[in-house]
Structure 1
């Protein structure tokens, strides 16, 4: 009799555990899934629904078009129910048309080609930050996500740009968590675009001692507009896609203590063409002891090369590092600090179809960047290298 009772109890426990593990409205989402609550919440509110077969497919990647539709459904000041495609339009066109009013950076406003590609965590961060009138460069966007606890990044110990997973594609269950955290942060409306903030972004920059300063950029004069195929100040070319928001002006860079308007130092980038959409002023955030952050003010040089003036904070002053090239450092892929006073870049030479890994040293005494080595690498080596880059 005792064995029978024990057997029945054990069977009941198994049934209870099994039922609890699948107690969501989605066939493929167990109750112990790390985002079960958030997926149910997203479905209940009509932000991110399941499929007709009763499944959520949590590990499927979210495309840019799906993400844009999700955000249109989420923001309270966008009437998503009234957004209907015109005859012959792609189903996502009305959502893109709506967000274009807010100058939100997206890959494919003017074609549908890239809309079916998975959106990355970095692109999502830029979308969210730009919608709140935060500079849409990757660095400031990631800091915004951390500050408002929309994301914790991919490390339980360190929160910085490199631990965010900037280039990782966004799965559907990740999207539900991001949206839920956005809701908890009280961010429920997309804000009208502020051209002044877009023109003059600010950045935080640490020196080698770990002290944090603020760098403010300011457009002093000049013109702004959108890149077009028509006659105008900003034609479409390798450095500007159709619809990119462009500024051309003398740019002033000033260094301040955090929370203090007193100018510690001032430098000027003359006649600088700033592509806001492409995020051409960036910070390389250091994770290395004794190594300060670097600020890159970039310009597109060709279809496969960027050039950048590089800045650092030294003795409470903003200094521009001298380089061997006329316009700063040249590269095809965003530079990364890999050791104290060591920087690496990737360059692609299309005349030979080859990638090169370049290593530079930073001489903080002479304020120079100089070549150490450059070696040809295979496409596989390049892919392996990039997989560990961020």
Structure 2
């Protein structure tokens, strides 16, 4: 159990000759509200905030970025080194929370796009995000079952019980602020604060995978029904990967991952990770487009010399490293042909 550092001051008001206790000072959460105890608990420990007019809006639909803040605060996720390179480059109040979640590879849609962050979060995304941190990487059905087994959440459509788990749970339904806080309160009641081994391993990042790649892996972990993407107009913009297991040992493999974003007619940003079993490296920078299918990068965002040539193939990206030794271990390189994901 975490140390409790906040003290809740209950406001007692006289209303129509009777006393009405308001949860944490929120005018719209009375003592008889189903989420009263959950809201009071969450405000006391700094997990939630209300609005400037003194309300909590318990029935309002929660956005993904609002849920991201709640989840990051509940688990007290650590802030990573570096920041995400987004497709929408404008700074956003939720950047801090998405950076922290990306460090643990949590399944979310809005890592690279402020517009996706502002959309209502679906129950299926909530299930996968919570389960990833509490239990480990799981598919949609296993994530739903985890929430049901631990009474963190319940189904919404009883007519589908024992027939269709996803319809029973209501994976595509929106979630209210009160419902999310109630889930977190139930997690608190069973001391579900330990972060899963899967999430911790991603955060420890022994293979030196870039923050953008870890975020993309989290997004890819979402069930296809739950994924929301904003397509870029550029033919360059995409995620590309290569993986080859050449032996039975844990380190006998080769892997390359590249994310191209913020593409214009003249340039694009690239985040790339290489791993050859024991050796690894990552680089971020901006490449200049030299023709309809070719581009070149001369230095990394760190200011190091890093010359790499890129060729856009049919559903693939060919990468040729000319000189980028300052950004990686000497036992590996960035060259390879990566398949568009």
TM normalised by structure 1 equals 0.44
Larger radius of gyration: 1
Q: Could you say which structure has the higher strand fraction?
A: 1
Higher relative contact order (CA 8 A, sep 6+): 2
Q: Could you tell me the TM-score, scaled by structure 2's length?
A: 0.49
